Amino acid sequence: MLGRAISYTTVGIDGQRITIECDTRGGVTHFTIVGMATNSVKESKDRVCAAIRNSGWRVKNLNYTINLAPADLKKDGAALDLPIAIAMLISLKDLSQNKVEEYAIIGELSLDGSIRPVKGVLPIAVQAAKENLSGLLVPSENATEAAFVDGLKVIPVDSLIEAVQFLDGRIKIKPFYLDKGKLFSSLNHFNVDMYDVKGQYFAKRALEVAAAGGHNLIMIGPPGSGKTMLARRLPTILPDITLEEAIETTKIHSVSGLSVTMKESIVTSRPFRSPHHTVSDIALIGGGTFPKPGEVSLAHNGILFLDELPEFKKSVLEVLRQPIEDGVVSISRAAQSLAFPAQFMLIASMNPCPCGYFGSEVPGHTCNCGYNLISRYRSRISGPLLDRIDIHIEVPAVSYQELKAKPAGEKSSIVRDRVNTARQVQLDRFKDENIFCNAQMSSRMIRKYCELNDDCHSLIKKAIDHSGFSARVYDRIIKVARTIADLTGEKDIKPEYISEAIQYRSLDKKYWN
């Protein structure tokens, strides 16, 4: 008899429907899985047979053929265990086919028949909802993630027996409901605050501008000046994540398996990724035999923080240029090409020299690095990469007077309110452009939305003549000035905004020429 079940796998960050067919016939006991299954799927036969036996059914001595359609799509992972078991039980006449094809089924089976959580549930749920299936049977631990999608009944199950009894109509399981309002009420609850940072008022202003416009930023200063402290508090002033951004970000984390291990399976705040400087090209950008998202994609809609930037391998830094420019990582293989979103803010920090104290006024620390050593250290970061970073700021050492003083300045919540207001202005401005912030503007959009008067042009001309800025830097100065105007609530870009934006590029000449 033929048994059939519907399941899904993931291709990139999207769900792909899989039809599972099980045919049984007499002969020597044999178990065959066809349809471009990887080893993790082929090994399911042992898990499935043990789970069926330990759940009280008999695995008869027959020849079993499992077909995974479409046959030209590679299937990977253990999420097909449960639907394979359901298809087998139908073929063995232990379960009726009637209700099974109304639901998509995913789950990994333990040998005792219990169901374990799997990765990639959210993109699967999104696709199942698009295809108007009645519902989705998922492991109970994945129910929150699946229920994030509207218009889909999510049935949580804990064991093979429970799944079979539900599909056979012997028990009823209430669909899982997720209160999204309660889930997002945890937004903006941070253990750190920008108020904790003493001094560094210029740096905090630059971080506010970067957050408001989605600009990349690099901090240069001696050890202990607070660069990492500032970077780790940047998420506290970023604009609130929207529902659409939360879904897209969670899809990436889901296919990477991170949503299974997180306390909350839904990403409700903007991600902050800080890979170590020993990270490989593939780990940072993504790829592999079965392409998976890298750190740049896991930072989508959030922050990628690269501490001690020159310590990263030069090849790793160079592969950053394409995702910074395009906001997407394209991975090509012989069988398929995949694209992973990578629209992130790059926040980097570095010392001015190997010892960290070149040009610093820190008492007792004199830089002994020779010219050649400093030159080699700085040359690890190419000019084209530096051009793609909108804001360069110097973070000087904090004085004793500032350290002993009580914290001063604004709390993150106050700054975030201004950032949210400025970002809403940008969302309204770009509602027909398919972009979300000033940093994403193309040259055409800059000409359209950033008109400059003669005084502004004169300031930029002087800066270019004095520092030799490239055409890309010219565009970035205007983008940053546009963000400063948005923070101020001004429609037009004024010379003082251009002047402030130029200050955020002054490190080009000081450190790199």
pLDDT tens-digit profile of 315-374?
899 889 889 988 999 888 766 788 899 999 999 999 988 988 887 766 777 888 888 888
Most confident of 181-195, 205-219, 319-333: 205-219
Res. 412: pLDDT tops 60: yes
pLDDT tens-digit profile of 60-103?
888 999 999 999 888 888 899 999 999 999 999 999 998 898 99
Res. 391: pLDDT tops 90: yes
The class that CATH gives domain 2-178 is alpha beta
Return the pLDDT at 225: 87
Look over the chain and give the mean of its residue pLDDT values, rounded to a whole number: 89
Q: What is the DSSP string of 199-237?
A: S-HHHHHHHHHHHHHT--EEEE--TTSSHHHHHHHGGGG
pLDDT tens-digit profile of 114-138?
999 999 999 999 999 999 888 999 9
* Strand 115-116 versus strand 217-220 pairing type: unpaired
Task: Kindly state the percentage of the chain with pLDDT values over 90.
Answer: 59
What is the average pLDDT across 41-50? 92
SS3 annotation, 118-163: CCCHHHHHHHHHHCCCCEEEEEHHHHHHHCCCCCCEEEEECEHHHH
Return the pLDDT at 513: 43
What is the average pLDDT across 137-150? 92
Return the pLDDT at 512: 41
Res. 185: pLDDT tops 60: yes
Token pair of 3 as six digits? 């048994």
Res. 204: pLDDT tops 80: yes
Sign of CA pseudo-dihedral 455, 456, 459, 465: negative
The yes or no reply on domain 194-418 and CATH 3.40.50.300 is yes
DSSP letter assigned to residue 302: S
pLDDT tens-digit profile of 482-512?
999 999 999 999 999 999 999 998 656 543 4
The domain segmentation of the chain, as residue ranges, is 2-178, 194-418, 441-513
Q: Do domains 194-418 and 441-513 have the same CATH topology?
A: no
**More confident site: 452 or 261:** 452
SS3 content of the chain, % helix, strand, coil (to 5): 45, 15, 40
Return the pLDDT at 72: 87
pLDDT tens-digit profile of 258-303?
876 555 678 888 999 999 999 999 999 998 877 889 999 999 999 9
Task: Kindly state the percentage of the chain with pLDDT values over 70.
Answer: 95
**More confident site: 262 or 31:** 31
Kindly state the greatest CA–CA separation across the chain: 89
The class that CATH gives domain 441-513 is mainly alpha
**More confident site: 175 or 383:** 175
Rounded to two decimals, the pTM is 0.89
The Cα 504–Cα 393 span in angstroms is: 6
What is the average pLDDT across 12-21? 93
Q: Per residue in 240-271, is it b (16+ CB within 10 Å) or e — as a string? A: bbeeebbbbbbbbbbbbebbbeeeebbbbbbb
What is the average pLDDT across 152-171? 95
Res. 469: pLDDT tops 80: no
